[in-house]
Structures are given as structure tokens and as C-alpha cells.
Amino acid sequence: MRLRTAVVVSTVGLLAAAGTLVFASNASAATTLGASAAERGGRYFGTAVAASRLNDSAYTTILNREFNQVTPENEMKIDATEPQQGQFSYGNADRIVQYATSRGMKVRGHTLAWHSQQPGWMQNMSGSALRQAILNHVTQVATHFRGQVTWWDVVNEAYADGSSGARRDSNLQRTGNDWIEAAFRAADAADPNALLCYNDYNIDNWNDAKTQAVYRMVQDFKSRGVPIDCVGLQSHFTGGSNYPSNYRTTLSSFAALGVDVHITELDIRNAPTSAYSNVVNDCLAVSRCRVITVWGIRDSDSWRSSESPLLFDGSGNKKAAYNAVLTALNNGSDPGNPTTPPSTGNPTTPPPSGSCTASVTPGTVWGDRYNTSVTVNGASNWSVVVAITSPQRISATWSGSPSWDSSGYVMTMRSNGSGNTFGFTTMMNGNSSARPQIRSCTAS
């Protein structure tokens, strides 16, 4: 990192001496969580989002700036999406999906099957009627969001706490021990390209019976061809468990089974900087740790707001934990392995579109505008989402096919056969300091 900084500085010096101005922003020091995660091998840094807050501009300012992935906090749960049997309700979930995808953010669906937050009609069901109802639910919801949801939490929290290593007792569990794999198969049939995850809490400590039990389930699924692609560790620390020193072992052990690992609901009581940066460092050390999602933006948005567990305070200010996370992300050296598409776990399903990386090279700066070029690695057919900051505007592009979201500040650039580098000119419009951010790079 030091070496790279030195190279940038000396390049600027040389070019300045030759009469050309180049802005000295160092591409290795991203200034937002999502941009930095994207630079670490195409990872994602996301947040839970509540539809009710999308008209709070203090909230959306942070959301738009910092994150490249969202998880609807409550809007895709069973009680929200199927409040009456056979009557589906997608309004709030669709709002979040539309909000996110139009800005180039990826969506994690949460959650198709869960013992909790069931609508009244489902709570009262059992046996084969419940089995049929939950599989229909999985099929309908995954079909509705097909192509819009990158990862699904297919099954949430199916294991018991404590030392038993047993399944959690629930109406779903009582339909038969195979209910989890039946749900994964139904989701795979409905949306073959979505990455299908098992998600749980208290599976962070490698020595815990619950962690071991989930590990054995994933191992069994992989050995029998049950379509599972990822494991989500909720990681609600000190909401029952502390950050464990063997967390990295847990992440790498799951990854060694051939699944991606995601940190899906991260929050830590009182937001200690050390635990937050340890979590980031552990994820970056495991190339299949692809996503870190915090469970809310500001402390006031948190399900446990009295514990101030998040990265922004109630006024939207960055906390010390934010700086620790960004620094850990920026210092991470592991670029991951973006050229290997994630496994679908299902040999009959073609691999989903994978990730690539996109790196920014600052170009010439004039008084009113500047050029940027972007080089893509890991794919020949790609699309790269670039966000600029208002009131700046992109006025010209080259070597790609651009399209724009409704705001005009987010450009999706697709390869057009002219190579792996594209470029664009941005008008400053009075803001001479902001620079474009890479939101995502997708291979297709």
C-alpha cells in the first residue's frame, strides 16, 4: 500500500512537471464501505433497509453513499408477503428492490422459510397442509423476485441454541426433518440463478454445538447435491454471544465445504472498534467471504437501538466503528478470487453470472471537468455500475454501452466488444472534489 501510494505521487509529480494535471486520489483508498468492499475482490458491504425509511433523506443519503447491497429488514418475511393464504403482498418489498437495483445495489432476500414472523393462518397449520403451504410460499415468492434477488436466505434459524446440536422445534420442523432441503429445492426450481443460503445466529463460534450442527447439515447437503450456495452468519454480537477469537476458523471451515460465507446481520453492542475491524479482517482473510451486511444504518434504526451497535449515530454521523471498518477494508490485501464463479451446488444448473473487478485510473482534470478510465478484470462480458455525486454529471463516455437510472447519477456501463477499459468525462458543476465510485462489477 505504501509502495502504491508512492508510485501514484511520483506519477502525479512527473505529469504535473510535464504540464498535465492529474488528480491525486489514490484508487486504493476508497472513501465508502461499498466502494472499498468492491475493491476487495468484488465483495459487497450492505445494510438492512426498512421501506418506511426510504423517504427519510438523512437515511437515504447514507444508504446511497455507503452501501452496495441491501437486505429488506422485514418486508420479505412470510407475514409481510403472504398475509392471507394464497394472497401475496409485495408492495414494500418491491419498493426496496426497485430502490436498490436502480442504484446498482444487490439485494439479499430475507427470508423464505422461518419459524418466526409467520402470518396467523400459517401458525395454525401443521402436517402435509403446512408442508404444501410453505413450499408454495417459497415457490411464489422466489418466482416473483426472480432475476432481482442475488442471494436468498431460503431457511432462517432452524437450529436450536445450546449444546444439543438439534433442530429447533417448530411447526415447520414437525412436518419432517427434510423440510429444509425441500425448501432449497423449491427455491432452486423457482429461481435457478439465485444463490441459496442458510442463515442463522450463534453459529459464529466454531466450538459451539449449533455451529457444528449447521456445518454437518451443509456438508450433508453438498454431498447429496441439495442446492445450497452459501451460509449466512448473522453475527449479532453480544446479543447473546461475543465475537469469538475462532470466527475466522468458522468462516474458512464453512467455505471449505464449497459454499460462500456471508456476514448477514452484523451489529455489536456499543460498536467497539476492535471487534468491528476483527470481523472485517476475518472476512477478508477468507476468499469465499463475499458479503458483510450490517443490520441497519444508524443506531436509531437498529432493532436494539439502546445498545448503539451500528456504524452511524442517530444523527447520521460516522462513529469510530465506521472508521475502523473502512480502514480495515482499505488495508485488506486479499483480492478474493473474482474469476471463479460461485458454485450453485447443482450440477444441472449453469453457473450464475459471477463477479469481476473494476479499477479506476484517474485521468486528465480541467477546470470544469475531469476524465476517468475504468479497467475490468476477470470477465470479457461485463457490466460495471458507477455512481457519481450530485451535482456532477457525466457528459461523455467511450468504449462501452452506458445506461442510466432515473436519478441520472448512476451509470451502468456494459461491454460493447471494444475491450476491457472504458472511460467517461464528468462535469464538476461546482463540486471539484467528489470522484466516481465503482458500485459493482458483474460478469455475464
Which residues are part of the catalytic machinery?
A: 157, 265
Between 208 and 265, CB nearer to ligand G2I: 265
Element containing residue 334 per DSSP (H, E): none
Q: How far is the CB of 43 from ligand G2I (least distance, A)?
A: 22
Residues numbered 380 to 419 that lie near ligand G2I (CB under 6 A) are none
Q: State the Cα torsion 62-65-69-70 to the nearest 10°.
A: 30
Is 69 a binder of ligand G2I (CB under 6 A)? no
Q: Given the complex with ligand G2I, which of 74 and 123 has the nearer CB atom?
A: 74
Amino acid at 69: Q
Q: Tell me which of 29, 303, 331, 431 binds ligand G2I, using CB under 6 A.
A: 303
Of 25 and 117, the one with the shorter C-beta distance to ligand G2I is: 117
Least distance CB 125 / ligand G2I (angstroms) = 19
In the list 32, 202, 234, 253, the residue contacting ligand G2I (rule: CB under 6 A) is 234
Please report whether residue 299 would count as binding ligand G2I according to CB under 6 A. Answer: no
Residue with smallest beta-carbon separation from ligand G2I: 303
Residues between 144 and 163 that touch ligand G2I (CB under 6 A): 156
Beta carbon nearer to ligand G2I, 247 or 424: 247
Residues 6+ apart with CB under 8 A from 204: 211, 233, 235, 237, 241, 243, 244, 247, 250
Backbone angles phi, psi at 80, to 5 degrees: -85, -40
Regarding 73 and contact with ligand G2I (CB under 6 A), the answer is yes
Within 10 A of 157 (CB to CB), how many other CB atoms are there? 21
Q: Determine the number of helices (DSSP H) and then strands (DSSP E) in the chain.
A: 12, 17
C-alpha cell at 141: 415468492
Using CB under 6 A as the binding rule, whether residue 31 contacts ligand G2I is answered as no
Residue (73 or 282) nearer to ligand G2I, CB: 73
Site for ligand G2I in 265-284 (CB under 6 A): 265
Q: In terms of Cα–Cα distance, which of 437, 443, 444 is closest to 29?
A: 437
Answer for which of 89, 117, 353, 373 binds ligand G2I (CB under 6 A) is: 117
Distance CA(435)–CA(301), nearest Å, equals: 29
Q: Does position 123 bind ligand G2I by CB under 6 A?
A: no
Asked if 74 touches ligand G2I (CB under 6 A), the answer is yes
Scan for cell 423517504, then name that residue: 55
Cα–Cα nearest to 91, from 139, 51, 143, 31? 51
- CA–CA distance, 308 with 269 (Å, rounded to integer): 6
8 Å CB contact between 386 and 398: no
420 forms part of the interface with ligand G2I (CB under 6 A): no
How many residues at the interface with ligand G2I, by CB under 6 A?
8
Establish if 23 lies at the interface with ligand G2I (CB under 6 A): no
Q: Does 241 participate in binding ligand G2I (rule CB under 6 A)?
A: no
Instruction: Work out the number of other CB atoms within 10 angstroms of the CB of residue 156.
Output: 23
Could you tell me where the DSSP H helices lie in 197-245?
A: 209-224
Q: In the complex with ligand G2I, which residue's Cβ is closer, 155 or 441?
A: 155
113 CB-side CA count, 13 A: 31
List contacts with ligand G2I (CB under 6 A).
73-74, 117, 156, 201, 234, 265, 303
